[in-house]
């Protein structure tokens, strides 16, 4: 952030008002510029250990009425200018948004959900910008969260003392119950996509958040780095080999993996190595980011994947009871969802809500890469995951 000695700011203390005005301007794009901090419905589970036998109930939030997510496509060229504007406010205002809103970001709002801060039933998605010098203080919470890095490089997330330097295509995880802080100590702004299972936790009324990081100096804003660079990769970075001398538990997170960073370069190399395979008729070439301790999904609720849609490839129609959020990391293509056609290109984000038929098409000359996030693990656990596809003009069941 700018040094106060550099002269008068272009904006004074009206940063919040400027953000609200931008919000009115951006509403037609189904994004909401974050102008206030999170309001978790519950107090910190571990820090707040007082006995309140009288039954104090924290102010919670519940939805009204029944609503249904719809397919939607957020075009990067339309939404990115608002991120630039947030970044400009952050660098020029006396009070940068990160101070009063916790983050400099906009959240994606599914047009079918009446302005709720979610893209699907269980998934929240935001796009954040960190200017040089920005930081988000150390905290811990019940939702699982991730960062999909869009910038070429720059910015970091420190998770349980492991500093994860961000580069494009990286997936950085902050599982439930892990202390984490974010920042940018580089010279250029950095941008990433945040994905969380927040709406699910909110629905279940089990959101809690703790900002009282027990650092050496008390309520530290950031964690000290305690692990060497690439710690996750040094332990788990060779497929099929798992350290057996140590616990895989990190932090106090439950049912989550011990790897906090998956490298974009590794993901791309893995997809390239499999390019010659036949692939799945409904998905093309796909891989999952997994918890190496179990082989299961990285979070108990969400699965993350990467998908290669090869030049000239057209997948068959498929539908699932789970919802999918897709981010185009490379190339361009089309996805048909319930009769609509999304023409996507780099950094575009789109959502395919549950039950809707969809297929991917790449008519271009170059391969395309999508990153995907779905709530399939959650549905599998409650016996509700089902998938169907089309084969020979008939609807067939996929899987058991
Ligand atoms: Fe967080």
Average of per-residue pLDDT across 276-305: 97
291 or 43, greater pLDDT: 291
19-28, 36-45, 158-167: which is most confident = 158-167
pLDDT at 30 over 60: yes
- Rounded to the nearest whole angstrom, what is the distance from the C-alpha of residue 44 to the centroid of ligand 1? 13
- Rounded to the nearest whole angstrom, what is the distance from the C-alpha of residue 330 to the centroid of ligand 1? 27
How many structural domains does the chain have? 1
Q: How confident is the model at residue 3 (pLDDT cuts 50, 70, 90)?
A: very low
According to the model, what pLDDT value does residue 15 have? Answer: 83
Spell out the SS3 assignment of the chain: CCCHHHCCCCCCCCHHHHHHHHHHHHHHHCEEECCCCCCCCECCCCCCCCCCCCCCCCCCCCCCCCCCCCCEEECHHHHHHHHHHHHHHHHHCCCCHHHHHCCCEEEECCHHHCCCCCCECCEEEEEEEECCCCEEEEEEECCCEEEEECCCEEEEEEECCEEEEEECCCEEEECCCCCEEEECCCCCCEEEEEEECHHHHHHCCCCEEECCCEECCEECCCCCCCCCCCHHHHHHCCCCCCCCCCCCCCCCCCCCCCCCEECHHHHHHHHHHCCCCCCECCCEEEEEEECCCCCCECCCCCEEEEEEECCCCECCCEEECCCEEEEEEECCEEEEECCEEEEECCCCEEEECCCCCEEEECCCCCCEEEEEEECHHHHHHCCCCCEEEEECCEEEEECC
- Rounded to the nearest whole angstrom, what is the distance from the C-alpha of residue 209 to the centroid of ligand 1? 8
pLDDT at 5 over 70: no
Average of per-residue pLDDT across 208-227: 80
- Rounded to the nearest whole angstrom, what is the distance from the C-alpha of residue 58 to the centroid of ligand 1? 20
Residue-wise pLDDT tens digits, 153-188: 999 999 999 999 999 999 999 999 999 999 999 999
- Rounded to the nearest whole angstrom, what is the distance from the C-alpha of residue 174 to the centroid of ligand 1? 7
- Rounded to the nearest whole angstrom, what is the distance from the C-alpha of residue 60 to the centroid of ligand 1? 19
Average of per-residue pLDDT across 276-296: 96
According to the model, what pLDDT value does residue 11 have? Answer: 45
What's the domain range around 166?
Answer: 4-51+59-398
Residue-wise pLDDT tens digits, 226-282: 999 999 999 999 888 999 999 999 988 888 899 999 999 999 999 999 999 999 999
- Rounded to the nearest whole angstrom, what is the distance from the C-alpha of residue 141 to the centroid of ligand 1? 6
- Rounded to the nearest whole angstrom, what is the distance from the C-alpha of residue 106 to the centroid of ligand 1? 15
Residue-wise pLDDT tens digits, 326-384: 999 999 999 999 989 999 999 999 999 999 999 999 999 999 999 999 999 999 999 99
pLDDT at 307 over 70: yes
pTM (two decimals)? 0.91
Average of per-residue pLDDT across 126-132: 95
Provide the CATH number for the domain around residue 100.
Answer: 2.60.120.10
Share of the chain above pLDDT 90, in %: 70
- Rounded to the nearest whole angstrom, what is the distance from the C-alpha of residue 197 to the centroid of ligand 1? 11
- Rounded to the nearest whole angstrom, what is the distance from the C-alpha of residue 210 to the centroid of ligand 1? 10
């Amino acid at each position: 952030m700018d040094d106060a000695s550099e002269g008068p700011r272009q904006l004074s203390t009206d940063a919040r008002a400027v953000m609200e005005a931008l919000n009115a301007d951006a509403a037609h794009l189904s994004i909401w510029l974050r102008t206030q901090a999170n309001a978790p419905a519950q107090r910190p589970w571990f820090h707040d250990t007082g006995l309140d036998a009288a039954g104090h109930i924290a102010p919670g939030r519940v939805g009204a009425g029944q609503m249904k997510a719809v397919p939607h496509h957020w075009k990067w060229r339309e939404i990115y200018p608002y991120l630039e504007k947030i970044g400009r406010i952050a660098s020029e205002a006396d009070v940068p948004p990160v101070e009063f809103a916790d983050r400099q970001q906009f959240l994606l709002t599914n047009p079918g959900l009446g302005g709720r801060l979610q893209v699907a039933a269980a998934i929240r998605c935001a796009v954040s910008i960190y200017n040089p010098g920005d930081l988000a203080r150390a905290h811990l919470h019940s939702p699982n969260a991730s960062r999909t890095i869009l910038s070429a490089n720059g910015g970091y997330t420190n998770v349980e003392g492991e500093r994860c330097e961000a580069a494009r295509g990286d997936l950085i995880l902050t599982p439930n119950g892990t202390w984490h802080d974010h920042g940018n100590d580089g010279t250029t702004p950095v941008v990433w996509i945040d994905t969380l299972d927040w709406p699910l936790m909110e629905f279940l009324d089990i959101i809690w958040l703790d900002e009282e990081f027990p650092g050496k100096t008390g309520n530290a804003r950031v964690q000290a780095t305690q692990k060497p660079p690439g710690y996750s990769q040094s332990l788990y970075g060779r497929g099929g080999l798992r350290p057996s001398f140590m616990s895989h538990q990190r932090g106090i997170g439950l049912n989550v993996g011990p790897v906090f960073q998956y490298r974009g370069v590794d993901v791309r190399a893995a997809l390239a190595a499999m390019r010659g395979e036949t692939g799945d008729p409904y998905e093309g070439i796909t891989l999952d980011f997994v918890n190496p301790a179990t082989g299961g999904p990285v979070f108990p609720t969400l699965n993350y994947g990467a998908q290669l849609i090869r030049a000239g490839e057209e997948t068959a129609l498929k539908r699932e009871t789970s919802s999918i959020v897709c981010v185009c990391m490379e190339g361009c293509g089309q996805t048909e969802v319930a009769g609509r056609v999304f023409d996507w290109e780099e950094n575009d984000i789109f959502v395919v809500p549950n039950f809707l038929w969809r297929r991917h098409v790449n008519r271009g000359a170059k391969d395309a890469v999508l990153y995907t996030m779905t709530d399939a693990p959650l549905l599998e656990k409650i016996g509700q995951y089902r998938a169907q596809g089309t084969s020979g003009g008939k609807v067939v069941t996929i899987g058991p």
